[in-house]
Amino acid sequence: MVQAFLRQFVDGPLAVQLRRFVAVGTVAAGIQMALLWLFVDWGGINYLVAAVFAIEMTIVIQYVLNNAWTFEAAANTGRAAFLEGLVKTNLVRGSAIPLQLGVLYWLVGWRGISYLLANAIAILVSGVYRYVLDARWTWG
């Protein structure tokens, strides 16, 4: 399963789309990590609460980039379609928040990993889930 998934990056029919999704996700993950650090270390906010704010802020960024670049062939154009797609991606990515927070909490609270490293791992874990739902529903 993992090998087949990784093979799609190289020569599968969705290779370009998958690489773009990962590139957008990487940029968004960097922004999310920076926001999380700012909220926790500078703002003194609990890391789980800060993660919710950081995640939600990057959802909009990811939607705009994915709509314009990753899924350009199926882009949600026009005001109504764009807003409908934004609502759909918020539902998809919002439903991934408990998964990401659960992994984050488990890694920090039970494994003693720093919250930033734990968040990076949680982003990776929830990334596959988000791609499948976004590709099939938001732009499907």
* Bigger pLDDT: 7 vs 44: 44
51 burial type by CB count under 10 A (0-12 exposed, 13-18 middle, 19+ buried): buried
Render pLDDT for 84-136 as a digit per residue (tens, 0 to 9).
999 998 888 888 899 999 999 999 999 999 999 999 999 999 988 888 887 78
Residue type for position 121: I
pLDDT > 70: what percent of the chain?
94
pTM of the model: 0.83
Phi, psi angles (nearest 5°) of residue 139 = -115, 10
32 and 119 Cβ atoms separated by less than 8 Å? yes
- For 92, residues 6+ apart whose C-beta sits below 8 A from its C-beta are 130, 133, 134, 137, 138
CB-CB neighbours of 18 under 10 Å: 19
Residue corresponding to tokens 């999310």: 32
Position 139 scores a pLDDT of 76
